[in-house]
Amino acid sequence: MNTPSTPHMPLRGIFNILATPFDAAQQVDYASLRRLVNFQLALGAHGLTILGVLGEAAKLSLDERRAVMDTVMETVAGRAPVVVGASHADRESRRSLCRAAFAAGAAAVMIAPPRMDQPTDAAVIALYADIAAATDRPIVVQDFPPVNNVIMSPDMLAQLAEQVPHCRTLKLEDPPLMEKIAAIRARTDAFAIFGGLGGMFLLEELARGAAGTMTGFAFTEILVAVYDAFTQGRLPDAEAIFDRYLPLIRYENQPVVNLTIRKALLCRRGAIAHSTPRHPFTPLDAGTQDELTWVLRRVGIDDPKLRLAF
């Protein structure tokens, strides 16, 4: 069952970062996008996050981003909260994307600071304050240094929470994750902290007090089962589920080709028609395709199209 939420309620649980499907001509495949939304919600995702790094937002035009957002929001139709990625290097484009997201019914916008020359804590906090002033709605702070080379220290994040009350959710992907969760918690309890990195540390993140995770892992029902077991106090069950499927989680999230692998798995699951990301991307060789089949067999997934039962 999906976790109910409104734009003013804290976000919790497993948020699938939705891939953006493309057709053979490299155009957005809106039929597959609608199918993918329904697929992820049927797997039990507590919410969706769209137009992030996995969603290839940087490869989309502003018009495409708005069309993807509108298609997702129409398809979700209020069944689950949606976080809309609105990061952009241009200030006015960023503010416009945020306003459009909230007009469409987004629960929050997710923003990573753009690349800056010698970024200061004050400059980063000012950026989020500017977004808050323009929208007066919830903001998910994306802490992912590989995207922008911006380091958000625990001290800076505590200052951000104090100075910009709209920033109450943090998507944390700056290892070592569990140590940073603890360091932030020592300074402020204002954030609902979501992990990422493919779900590779979900169990440990939850044990450190994370509210959930936002990831594009193709088997959402596995992460939901871990989360449900953990939050219900069934730690041995959570451990057993997580440990059983960890080889698949690990293999899917390997650097450089993680997006391509996730789309290949979504295609195998029947969720999208074509597995190809938009150019530029790193294709999978035949050996990787064979290894995917091998890993699925090792964890006991005989038919990827079937929803796993727990």
- Residue 306 maps to a domain: no
Angle at 70 between CA 67 and CA 76, to 5 degrees: 140
Which tokens belong to 107? 């629960």
Q: Provide the sign of the torsion angle of the four alpha carbons 294, 300, 303, 308, taken in this order.
A: negative
- Residue 227 maps to a domain: yes
Query: What domain range is 291 assigned to?
Result: 13-298
Q: Are 72 and 37 in contact (CB under 8 A)?
A: yes
Q: How many other β-carbons are positioned within 10 Å of the β-carbon of residue 8? A: 8
Which tokens belong to 216? 């594009």
- Residue 303 maps to a domain: no
pLDDT of residue 7: 39
Number of domains in the chain: 1
- Residue 310 maps to a domain: no
- Residue 223 maps to a domain: yes
pLDDT of residue 121: 95
pLDDT of residue 9: 65
Mean pLDDT by 10 residues, the chain (310 residues): 47 98 98 98 98 94 97 98 96 95 97 89 96 96 92 97 96 95 97 96 97 98 98 98 98 96 98 97 96 98 96
Q: Fill in the DSSP letter of residue 115.
A: P
Q: Which residues are catalytic?
A: 171
pTM of the model: 0.95
